[in-house]
């Protein structure tokens, strides 16, 4: 067996080891708390009682940590993680996450194959990751846009129980079946921002949820979110949305 003691088992291949890791991660019991509970209650801190144990993660860290200096600098910023978490995202997906003193952010998600060699080396497609972050940063627009069509009380809970008119076929569809579509393509807005506004480096964070700015801006200070702010502002100035049902959306996209 090539990969020994990966979360308590031995594996012949990285793919099998990764599958085992994912299975355990998704088998951890989701805390029964409301969505607005504090992060430390919504996510699960790994201990010796959880399916993935704290000591499992320490073993991975001590035995399978990547030696790639750039990755280690970006992810851990010279620190050693003191706690590991199963981070439960609102869309149901999960990440392994950690806390480290060198980063002033709690519960930081990371792709396991990026830092542990027993799971394989992640292929990084930088351009694709940049777009993924850009899309994530504007993902709140969907509910904001749809909320404008509610009558009277714009309580966010109501958004999901309302029916929306498709702007092409004029039939009404429930929340889950309506697409908020970019009239000016997302790709062209993003390209224009990259070509004319933000020409510098972009560093998608490890979970593709925000940009970590590479360099301090003109005033010499490091603005953690300068790229994020620039993108969101540029996008909101140009964007135009429309509501489409799934079939009209498919027709629009594929002709
Ligand atoms: Zn339609």
Query: What's the gap in Å between 186 CA and the centre of ligand 1?
Result: 20
**142 CA → ligand 1 middle, Å:** 17
Q: What average pLDDT does the structure give for the chain?
A: 89
Distance CA 118, CA 2 (A): 9
Q: Contact, 54 vs 48, CB < 8 A?
A: yes
**Which residue in the block uniquely carries the two structure tokens 């996450």?**
97
Per-residue pLDDT at 96 exceeds 70: yes
- CB of 85 closer than 8 Å to CB of 25: no
CA of 165 to the centre of ligand 1 (A): 8
Distance 128 CA to ligand 1 centre (A): 29
Phi and psi, residue 98, nearest 5°: -145, 165
Task: Look at residues 40, 15, 22, 42 and name the one whose alpha carbon lies nearest to residue 30.
Answer: 42
Ligand 1 centre distance from Cα of residue 164 (Å): 10
Question: Between 215 and 187, where is the model more confident?
Answer: 187
Helices (DSSP H) in 50-198: which residue ranges?
Answer: 54-63, 69-76, 112-115, 126-137, 141-147, 156-159, 186-192
- Weakest-pLDDT range from 46-60, 79-93, 118-132: 118-132
Residue 127 tokens, joined:
């351009």
Q: Where would I find the beta strands (DSSP E) of the chain?
A: 3-6, 9-11, 44-45, 83-88, 94-99, 108-110, 163-165, 172-174, 178-182, 241-245
In the reported structure, the alpha carbon of residue 183 is separated from the centroid of ligand 1 by a whole-number distance in angstroms of 15
Rounded distance from Cα 232 to ligand 1 centre (Å)? 28
Q: Comparing C-alpha atoms, which of 35, 214, 233 is closest to residue 134?
A: 233
Q: How far does the centroid of ligand 1 lie from the alpha carbon of residue 175, in Å?
A: 13
Residue 121 pLDDT level (bands cut at 50, 70, 90):
low
Which of 53-57, 169-173, 216-220 has the least mean pLDDT?
216-220
How far does residue 178's CA lie from ligand 1's centre (Å)?
9
C-alpha 255 to ligand 1 mean position (Å): 14
C-alpha 60/C-alpha 82 separation (Å) is 14
CA angle 214, 216, 218 (to 5 degrees): 135
> How many Å lie between the centroid of ligand 1 and the Cα of residue 36?
34
Other Cβ atoms less than 10 A from the Cβ of 228: the count is: 19
Q: 251: CA distance to ligand 1 center in Å? A: 9
First to last CA, the chain: 52
Q: Name the pTM for this structure.
A: 0.52
């Amino acid at each position: 067996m090539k990969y020994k003691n990966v979360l308590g088992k031995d594996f012949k291949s990285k793919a099998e080891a990764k599958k085992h890791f994912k299975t355990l991660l998704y088998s951890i019991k989701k805390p029964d708390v409301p969505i607005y509970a504090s992060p430390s209650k919504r996510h699960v801190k790994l201990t010796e009682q959880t399916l993935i144990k704290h000591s499992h993660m320490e073993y991975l860290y001590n035995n399978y940590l990547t030696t790639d200096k750039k990755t280690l600098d970006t992810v851990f910023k010279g620190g050693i993680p003191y706690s590991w978490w199963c981070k439960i995202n609102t869309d149901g997906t999960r990440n392994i996450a950690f806390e480290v003193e060198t980063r002033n952010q709690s519960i930081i998600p990371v792709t396991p194959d990026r830092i542990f060699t027993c799971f394989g080396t992640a292929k990084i497609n930088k351009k694709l990751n940049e777009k993924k972050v850009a899309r994530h940063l504007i993902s709140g627009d969907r509910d904001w846009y749809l909320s404008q069509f509610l009558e009277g009380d714009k309580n966010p809970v109501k958004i999901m129980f309302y029916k929306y008119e498709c702007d092409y076929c004029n039939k009404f569809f429930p929340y889950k079946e309506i697409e908020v579509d970019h009239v000016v393509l997302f790709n062209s807005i993003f390209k224009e921002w990259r070509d004319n506004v933000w020409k510098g480096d972009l560093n998608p964070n490890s979970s593709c949820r925000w940009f970590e700015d590479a360099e301090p801006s003109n005033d010499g200070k490091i603005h953690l979110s300068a790229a994020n702010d620039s993108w969101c502002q540029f996008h909101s100035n140009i964007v135009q949305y429309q509501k489409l049902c799934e079939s009209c959306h498919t027709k629009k996209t594929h002709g």
